[in-house]
Amino acid sequence: MNTPPDPGRLYREFAKGIWKENPVFVQVLGMCPMLAVTNSAINAVAMGAATAFVLIGSSFLVSLLRSFIPKQVRISTYIIIIATFVTVADFTLKAAVPSVHKELGAFIALIVVNCLILGRQEAFASRNSVRLAVADAIGMAAGFAFALLCLGATREILGSGSLFGHLLFGEHFEPWVIMVLPPGGFIMLGVILLFFGFLRERKIRRRTRVSEEAAS
Amino acid sequence: MNSNLVWIFISAMLVNNFTLYYFLGLCPFFGVSGRLKTAFRLGLATIFVMVITSLCVSFLNAFILPYAPYLRLISFIVVIASTVQFVEMVIKKLSPALFRALGIFLPLITTNCAILYLAISQTKADYSVIEGLVFAVGAGGGFTLALVLMAGLREEVELSNVPAMVKGTALNMIIAGILSLAFMGFAGLFSGT
């Protein structure tokens, strides 16, 4: 346990969160904040940053304390650690960027119950060393932020014809209003998941074709 | 006063439906909506947890939190977690079959964001005890309604022939989108008043 993990392993734990085990597109976790705040790209970035702070902080603390936390009360302990970090993030955002805080509303507080964060504590941080846990948390947070940005940017471009508040198409663009409203969130995420399903199917098909050719 | 209560109830249940308008409680919404019966019972358990939480939150807001505002989130989550623990024990005792059917989603009511959101927005709107109770029943009812509708739709979809690529989460998302579209029709319900 005292030997530091090799850099290759650290990198693998980091990289898997972004693509191969992307929390949103592959594991379908943390969907409530995902859909609720992604009606513009700037909200998506703020939410991604706040979640990253909470995830990295609590992963660090949980893996540091993992041998002291009794098994029976571990979930409640994690929740309280997470709630503490969320309170810090909430107050910081309120003081630093009040406009964004107002826009995100209660969803900053709701990071406490984001299943992604609790899931990482239970599945990874509580059984690995501090360095690995932090690498994993950074990877997962980056993957989550990437997914938020994908959905936020698509919905903003389609729904209000702008990106980060800059108009893209000139004044003749007719905004597709439904995309910034709640149903648009569900449908857009459905379409993105469909795309990922398509990629997976194609990969499987290609692999079977290759093995068939190899056999013949 | 009475019309105010009716307004809170209808608003929480239909117009601003927690699941389909605010995207709250999506994990059980997609996780437990496979069977109609289980979905309905999980809805009832959620309503119960919401009502108890609402009462506790009213109490906390009146007596404790004015002195320690930074404890808000932590105290709410502790209240919710203990209520869920209590419900779990009751259901295990009364109906072991239901306990098995709900499985992991029963303890996961703790991390159902709908309940924490209920606590926070009740605090924000400064509801009295009665208003809070009505709000909780309305919100829980709305969650149950969405869950039951979704379960009914999914049971039907299971019988039809869909491409393998679409099956699973992507299809559920799009069904939920259409359901949410339908609920937007309620938006004009109270515009006159």
Q: What is the pLDDT of residue A1?
A: 45
Q: Does A184 touch chain B (CB under 8 A)?
A: yes
Cross-chain residue pair A80–B173, CB shorter than 8 Å: no
A50-91: per-residue pLDDT in tens?
999 999 999 999 999 988 888 878 888 888 899 999 999 988
- Here the ipTM equals 0.81
d(CA A47, CA A68): 31
Q: What residue segments make up the domains of chain B, in order of their start?
A: 19-185
Instruction: Read off the pLDDT band of B139 (50, 70, 90).
Output: very high
**What 3-state DSSP class applies to A97?**
coil
Q: What is the pLDDT of residue A3?
A: 58
B111 neighbourhood in chain A, CB within 8 Å: 113-115, 118
Region A140-153 average pLDDT: 90
Cβ atoms of A37 and A45 closer than 8 Å: no
A207 DSSP β-pair partners:
none
Return the sign of the alpha-carbon dihedral for residues B163, B167, B171, B175: positive
Q: Which 3-state string (H, E, C) describes A125-183? A: HHHCCHHHHHHHHHHHHHHHHHHHHHHHHHHHHHHHCEECCEECCCCCCCCCHHHCCHH
Mutate to test the interface with B, among A113, A120, A158, A198 (most CBs of B within 10 A): A113
Whether the pLDDT of residue A2 is over 70: the answer is: no
A181 neighbourhood in chain B, CB within 8 Å: 184
Tokens 């938006």 belong to which residue? B187
Cβ atoms of B51 and B136 closer than 8 Å: yes
Cross-chain residue pair A178–B116, CB shorter than 8 Å: no
Whether the pLDDT of residue B17 is over 60: the answer is: yes
Q: Does A164 touch chain B (CB under 8 A)?
A: no
d(CA B13, CA B180): 13
B108 neighbourhood in chain A, CB within 8 Å: 115
Cross-chain residue pair A198–B78, CB shorter than 8 Å: no
B45-54: per-residue pLDDT in tens?
889 889 989 9
B81-124: per-residue pLDDT in tens?
888 888 888 888 988 888 887 777 777 787 788 888 898 888 88
Q: Annotate A24-85 with DSSP letters as a single string.
A: TTTT---HHHHHHSTTSHHHHHHHHHHHHHHHHHHHHHHHHSTTTS-GGGHHHHHHHHHHHH
Whether the pLDDT of residue B1 is over 70: the answer is: no
- Provide the whole-model pTM: 0.84
B165 neighbourhood in chain A, CB within 8 Å: 194, 197-198, 201
B169 neighbourhood in chain A, CB within 8 Å: 28, 193
Of B36, B33, B40, B35, residue with least CA distance to B169: B33
Q: Which 3-state string (H, E, C) describes chain B? A: CHHHHHHHHHHHHHHCCCCCCCCCCHHHHHHCCCCHHHHHHHHHHHHHHHHHHHHHHHHHHHHCCCCCHHHHHHHHHHHHHHHHHHHHHHHHHHCHHHHHHHHHHCHHHHHCHHHHHHHHHHHHHCCCHHHHHHHHHHHHHHHHHHHHHHHHHHHHHHHCCCCCCCCCHHHHHHHHHHHHHHHHHHHHCCCCC
Non-local (6+) Cβ contacts of A184 within 8 A are A39, A155, A158, A159, A176, A178, B177
Whether the pLDDT of residue B191 is over 70: the answer is: no
Instruction: Say which of B107, B117, B166 has its CB closest to residue A106.
Output: B117
Instruction: Say which of A32, A106, A118 has its CB closest to residue B120.
Output: A106
Q: What is the pLDDT of residue B193?
A: 42
How far apart are the CA of A56 and the nearest CA of chain B, in angstroms? 19
Cβ neighbours, 10 Å, residue A4? 10
Query: Does residue B30 or residue A62 have the better pLDDT?
Result: A62
Q: What is the pLDDT of residue A5?
A: 66
